[in-house]
Amino acid sequence: MDLFVLSHVNKIYKIDKKRTFYALRNVTFSLPYTGFVSIVGKSGCGKSTCLNMLSLIDAPSSGNVYFQNKDINKFNDNKKSAYLLNEIGIIFQNFHLIEDEDVIYNIMLPYLISGHNKKEAHHAAEELLKKFQIKKDLYKQKCDSLSGGEKQRIAILRSLINNPLVLVCDEPTGALDKTNSKIVMDLLKNISKEKLVVMVSHNKKLVDEYSDRIIEMCDGKIIRDNYKITTDIKYVKNEKKHAKRASNWLNHISFKNIKRRFKRNIFTILSIVFGLVSTYIVIGFSLGKDKSVINESYKQFDYGSATLSKETSKPISNSVISISQTFKPSLVEKEELMEKFDQFFYVDNLDAFISPVSTILIGENIIENITCYPIYSFEDQSIDKQLLIRGKFPFSNNFAHVVINKSAYELILNQYKINPLNLSVRIKNQFETIYYPSDELEGIKDTFILDTNLTIDGVVDEFSFLDTPKIFYSYIGAADYLNSITLNNLSNFVHRDISWLSRIEMISANDPLSSYSYRLFLKDSNNKDYLKKVISTINAPFVLTSGAFIRESSLIELVNAADSTMKLFLVVILLGTIFIIGILSFFCYNEDKKRSAILSAIGARKGDIFSIYINESLFYVLIGYLISLLITIPITNLANSIISKHYYFHSIINLSWDKFLEVPFFIPIIVFITCIFVALIATLFPMVFSKKISIKDELQNI
Ligand code: ADP
Ligand code: MG
């Protein structure tokens, strides 16, 4: 029985669209289980092509190649690599050892691939080295330091370790000198006593000296074959080979690859770290922004102050436009609302008298851009007393005693070089009103003149977003003040004192003096959420307006916009990182094509080779992941402290060790799983789309 039977094998190459070339023409022969068979012929006659038919490096265009009666070209991928691993050893002209590994590892490798552990493999390799009398000091030598003859012997031993049935050797002495050629030929001859050795060679002398059988080829055909049928050929039963494959050997190779390329890949790790830290920070920002912004925006001294007005709109007939008007709500309406929303003080709006834009002077100098706002009282809990940073709150609610915010403090200090504390500033405002007792009578004109001194008792800290210099006066103090000054002409007319405060009660809902609104103050400054709730629940036509709330809302909008932008940016960063991992594995894979071809030739499966690169990417991702895990919190803290210094937000990125390590490790675990997934995709994708590794292209000298 024969080991191999080639039956009518043709190999046709397409040269161009029209022309074809027959590298093998109807080649038919069989090979026994033992002996030394040489294939000879002129260069280009098809010797290597013929040999490649046995080693699966090439497949016939037509015809069949049988190995122990099985058509090897009908094997599936796994069977093919098992065949390469266990049944056949391929010897190349250029040895193709893994050069940066030592001798013993190279010999062990096919044994490791076939599922033996390191110890067994080491032992088997040592046995083999001893059997073939390789000097002991070569065992641990790196292959790149060996001579050609030594390399070829090691390559032969490597092909023997899984005890194959056949060695196929393509010009095994082609790169060797005479002495080494002889050593290698002796070795092969020796092996051919137990196994089949098929060799392609140019060297007629060696062929004649060593071969049991010579097949001569010309132009793809066999022209001579001195096959002597020997009767003593026995059928060699295939011993049971290790069926289960192990993957430990992959780790060693991956590890070596990582070591080899580590320096170059620091950049990759950095980009992974960058991507991951960005991810964590964006997540932290999303988690922390609302709370941080709201906490900060509560630091507005007049947060609880709002105006209540009534808005009506009348459509203009035959037009899409309507006229909208704002009024002060009526007393009845006010009382209804007071009942419904009872956490406010409801008072008259004094803005017409003490205008937010009243003129403020230091001596004769007007302070530009400073505005005046009321708070309810310095004495009760309607104000947030914690905001005081300098001086004190006025002892009582006296209009003449005010506090300013930090921004006003800095304005006065920087522009006028005066310490604002205890400074007296002048407030001025003026307007005329006319009272018409009846249609016939002439109107009674009175002039309101506000011109008084305000002493700055304290400074409050305010949240700096849209923060303008402000003076806060006590509403109660202001009302007292307005109650104490009378309208002279009107008082004379009615023969009793009419104060400016009581004048407000007399005016109509659309008089400018009414400011078209009531002023509301939150009774308890801790109840800031209540203000928000009322603003969102109050129904038309009533409108509750709060400057502080508007500032807060616009800030939240701004921060949300920043959040969306960051998320978008993150997508770009992550795509970039995926791209970098992809490029990395693409280059590694392509750079190592020859190595991979060697591994394929000794029987590694396609999946094994992919695994090597997946391991490598996973390693980088894992390192990046761990580094990012370690540095995210310190970076977050740094970022938070920089942000809080410049923008006033505290902990806007809501990440901390306890948050991070919180059961069930939510964020890091999700990120980890995503990382693994991304690494797999980013690695596999370019490999699947790379050109298939061809042993012939990578390892053969055509
Ligand atoms: P040799 O006898 O020198 O080993 P080969 O078996 O390598 O010759 O090649 C046989 C012939 O087939 C040569 O003429 C070679 O140019 C041709 N050949 C080999 N591979 C290819 C290919 N991929 N495409 C076209 N022609 C090829
Ligand atoms: Mg050749």
What does the pLDDT look like over 234-274, one tens digit per residue?
Answer: 555 555 555 566 678 898 999 999 999 988 889 889 989 99
CA 508 to chain centre: 63
Q: Measuring from atom 6 of ligand 1, which residue has the nearest CA?
A: 46
Q: Containing H/E element for 435? A: strand 424-435
Contact 381, 525 (CB under 8 A): yes
Mean pLDDT on 511-517: 86
How many other CB atoms sit within 10 Å of the CB of residue 303?
Answer: 25
Q: Which atom of ligand 1 is nearest to the CA of 11?
A: 12
Q: Which range has the worst mean pLDDT, 78-92, 194-208, 395-409, 653-667?
A: 653-667
Please report which ligand is nearest the Cα atom of 12.
1
Determine if ligand 1 sits within 6 Å of the CB of residue 220. no
Amino acid at position 223, single letter: I
Q: Measuring from atom 8 of ligand 1, which residue has the nearest CA?
A: 44
What does DSSP say about strands 305-315 and 518-522: parallel, antiparallel, or unpaired? antiparallel
Cα radius of gyration (the chain):
47
Partners of 20 in the β-ladder: 14
Contact 258, 513 (CB under 8 A): no
Whether pLDDT at 189 is above 90: yes
Q: Which of 164, 167, 188, 168 shows the shortest CA–CA distance to 238?
A: 164
Residue to mutate (ligand 1; options 49, 54, 202; most atoms within 8 A of CB): 49
Alpha carbons within 13 A on the beta-carbon side of 310: 13
- For residue 42, the model assigns a pLDDT of 93
Amino acid at position 373, single letter: Y
What does the pLDDT look like over 146-172, one tens digit per residue?
Answer: 999 999 999 999 999 999 999 999 999
DSSP string of 623-692, one letter each residue: HHHHHHHHHHHHHHHHHHHHHHHHH--SS-S---HHHHT-TT-HHHHHHHHHHHHHHHHHHHHHHHHSPP
Contact 349, 307 (CB under 8 A): yes
Could you tell me the pLDDT band of residue 81, with boundaries at 50, 70 and 90?
very high
- For residue 229, the model assigns a pLDDT of 56
Distances (CA, A) of 665 to 619, 661, 670, 701: 21, 5, 8, 56
Determine if ligand 1 sits within 6 Å of the CB of residue 13. yes
Whether pLDDT at 306 is above 60: yes
Contact 518, 546 (CB under 8 A): no
Q: Which atom of ligand 1 is nearest to the CA of 43?
A: 3
Determine if ligand 1 sits within 6 Å of the CB of residue 45. yes
Q: Could you tell me the distance, in angstroms and rounded to a whole number, from the CA of residue 23 to the centre of ligand 1?
A: 6
CA distance 527 to 341: 13
- For residue 702, the model assigns a pLDDT of 54
Contact 94, 699 (CB under 8 A): yes
Q: Which atom of ligand 1 is nearest to the CA of 52?
A: 6
Q: Which atom of ligand 1 is nearest to the CA of 41?
A: 2
Mean pLDDT across the chain, nearest whole number? 89
Q: Could you tell me the distance, in angstroms and rounded to a whole number, from the CA of residue 12 to the centre of ligand 1?
A: 10
Determine if ligand 1 sits within 6 Å of the CB of residue 317. no
Lookup: tokens for 36: 């030394």
Q: Which atom of ligand 1 is nearest to the CA of 200?
A: 4
First to last CA, the chain: 33
Could you tell me the pLDDT band of residue 440, with boundaries at 50, 70 and 90?
confident
- For residue 505, the model assigns a pLDDT of 80
**pTM of this prediction exceeds 0.85:** no
Determine if ligand 1 sits within 6 Å of the CB of residue 576. no
Torsion of CA 250, 253, 259, 265, to 10 degrees: -60
Q: Containing H/E element for 186? A: helix 178-191
Whether pLDDT at 232 is above 60: no
What does the pLDDT look like over 20-38, one tens digit per residue?
Answer: 999 999 999 999 999 999 9
- For residue 228, the model assigns a pLDDT of 66
Q: Which range has the worst mean pLDDT, 210-219, 248-257, 479-488, 659-668?
A: 659-668
Q: Kindly give, in sequence order, each residue whose CB lies less than 8 Å from that of residue 135, ignoring residues fewer than 6 positions away.
A: none
Determine if ligand 1 sits within 6 Å of the CB of residue 702. yes
Q: Could you tell me the distance, in angstroms and rounded to a whole number, from the CA of residue 142 to the centre of ligand 2?
A: 28
Q: For residue 544, which phi and psi values (nearest 5 degrees)? A: -105, 125
Determine if ligand 1 sits within 6 Å of the CB of residue 19. no
Determine if ligand 1 sits within 6 Å of the CB of residue 51. no
Mean pLDDT on 292-310: 88
Determine if ligand 1 sits within 6 Å of the CB of residue 42. no
Determine if ligand 1 sits within 6 Å of the CB of residue 46. yes
CA distance 523 to 343: 6
Q: SS3 for 360?
A: strand
Could you tell me the pLDDT band of residue 187, with boundaries at 50, 70 and 90?
very high
Q: Kindly give, in sequence order, each residue whose CB lies less than 8 Å from that of residue 449, ignoring residues fewer than 6 positions away.
A: 429, 430
- For residue 231, the model assigns a pLDDT of 47
Q: Measuring from atom 15 of ligand 1, which residue has the nearest CA?
A: 44
**Residue written as tokens 């007049």?**
302
What does the pLDDT look like over 563-607, one tens digit per residue?
Answer: 999 999 999 998 888 888 888 888 888 889 999 999 999 999 988
CA distance 679 to 597: 24
**Strand blocks (E) in 524-618:** 542-545
Determine if ligand 1 sits within 6 Å of the CB of residue 587. no
Mean pLDDT on 512-521: 89
Could you tell me the pLDDT band of residue 362, with boundaries at 50, 70 and 90?
very high
Alpha carbons within 13 A on the beta-carbon side of 532: 14
Partners of 470 in the β-ladder: 371
Amino acid at position 667, single letter: I
Please report which ligand is nearest the Cα atom of 14.
1
Q: Could you tell me the distance, in angstroms and rounded to a whole number, from the CA of residue 47 to the centre of ligand 1?
A: 9
CA 410 to chain centre: 43
What does DSSP say about strands 166-170 and 196-200: parallel, antiparallel, or unpaired? parallel
Q: Which of 373, 330, 378 shows the shortest CA–CA distance to 355?
A: 373
Whether pLDDT at 225 is above 60: yes
Determine if ligand 1 sits within 6 Å of the CB of residue 16. no
What does DSSP say about strands 542-545 and 518-522: parallel, antiparallel, or unpaired? unpaired
- For residue 230, the model assigns a pLDDT of 54
Contact 280, 671 (CB under 8 A): yes
Q: For residue 322, which phi and psi values (nearest 5 degrees)? A: -130, 155
Q: Could you tell me the distance, in angstroms and rounded to a whole number, from the CA of residue 204 to the centre of ligand 1?
A: 20
User: Percent of the chain at pLDDT above 90?
Assistant: 55
Lookup: tokens for 459: 């400074």
